[in-house]
């Protein structure tokens, strides 16, 4: 009789434990913060594409510019008329020029 009582107690305790654990799991699921997926970190949109027009000064300009009226260029050459596109940056014709830091011209890739 005594042994049976012990087994019964153990069984009851086990059942209680199981339901307690199940309750815990349920609560954990319920309290789990509903996190919205963080947006994938996209590259900063500079708006620079291969079609972006770049400007340069034909008279020995060593830099190319995003702004045809860039302050880094001598006033007499502004606004610059000579243009090429960002896609042409690696062309032999333009390879000698560097990006102007003043108007934020895109770096050669």
- Residues binding Zn ion (CB under 5 A): 65, 70, 72, 100, 102-103
> For residue 102, how far is the Cα from the chain centroid?
24
- How far apart CA 51 and CA 86 sit, in angstroms, is 6
Q: CB of residue 71 vs Zn ion: minimum separation in angstroms?
A: 7
Closest CA to 57 of 35, 81, 25: 81
Q: CB of residue 63 vs Zn ion: minimum separation in angstroms?
A: 6
Give strand pairing partners of 56: 64, 82
Choose between 48 and 72: whose C-beta lies nearer to Zn ion.
Answer: 72
Choose between 86 and 103: whose C-beta lies nearer to Zn ion.
Answer: 103
Q: With contact defined as beta carbons under 8 Å apart, do 79 and 58 qualify? A: no
Choose between 22 and 81: whose C-beta lies nearer to Zn ion.
Answer: 81
**Structure letter (DSSP) for residue 87:** G
- How far apart CA 98 and CA 79 sit, in angstroms, is 19
Q: CB of residue 56 vs Zn ion: minimum separation in angstroms?
A: 9
Q: CB of residue 104 vs Zn ion: minimum separation in angstroms?
A: 8
Choose between 26 and 79: whose C-beta lies nearer to Zn ion.
Answer: 79
């Amino acid at each position: 009789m005594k042994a049976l009582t012990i087994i019964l107690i153990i069984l009851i305790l086990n059942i209680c434990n199981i339901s307690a654990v199940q309750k815990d799991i349920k609560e954990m699921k319920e309290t789990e913060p509903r996190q919205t997926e963080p947006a994938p970190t996209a590259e900063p949109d500079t708006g620079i594409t291969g079609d972006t027009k770049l400007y340069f000064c034909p008279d020995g300009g060593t830099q190319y510019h995003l702004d045809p009226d860039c302050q880094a260029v001598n006033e007499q050459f502004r606004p610059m008329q000579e243009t090429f596109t960002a896609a042409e940056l690696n062309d032999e014709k333009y390879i000698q020029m560097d990006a102007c830091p003043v108007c934020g011209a895109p770096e050669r890739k």
